Amino acid sequence: MPEIHLKISPYMAGPLLDILRAVSKSLNMRLAVPLHGPEETDQELLDAWREGLLETLSDDVGRLLDFLEEAVTSQLPMQIDEATSMQLVRAASALRLRLQESFLKRVPSDKLESGEVDFNDFEPETQQVYGIYLFLARLQEQIINALEPDIWDWQGDAE
């Protein structure tokens, strides 16, 4: 089972969870990215498909929030199974997309992903959101590395 080591200071935990809860509420209303589903001419099927995606997303985000709250209170390494790991990765992705879409619009995606952003260029409120964006990215990396320890060994050599 993957083991995740998270240290979240109690000082940061409150704002982190508050912002993630607020952002997660907006995810319950619509998907983080627009998707085209099965048979767009069959509105009932399309609605059911999207509703299923939203329900899964809501479950994933709820699991992530529970996981973070538990990590804050226990301060011990957290063991999670593979299914939960995937829930956390999906939820972190959706929340990062929403943070980018809502608060970090002016920053190009490639700069956000590469970390080529000067933290001091942001207003204090945006700094906080950007910090959460980075936190979620690091959490995803930790989970993926715990699931697939050799994934980062790729050298990029193509034959």
pLDDT for the residue 159: 42
Q: What is the pLDDT of residue 75?
A: 72
Report pLDDT for 65.
93
d(CA 124, CA 122): 6
Domain-wise residue ranges, the chain: 3-147
pLDDT (0 to 100) of residue 104 = 92
Mean pLDDT, residues 70-98 taken together: 88
Residue-wise pLDDT tens digits, 7-50 = 777 778 888 899 999 888 877 666 655 666 666 677 788 778 78
Average pLDDT, the chain: 82
Residues 116-129 have a mean pLDDT of 88
Burial degree of 125 (CB within 10 A; 0-12, 13-18, 19+) = exposed
For the segment 79-86, the average pLDDT, to the nearest whole number, is: 89
**Burial readout 38-58 (b: 16 or more C-beta within 10 A, e: otherwise):** eeeeeeeebeeeeeeeeeebb
Q: Is the pLDDT of residue 126 over 80?
A: yes
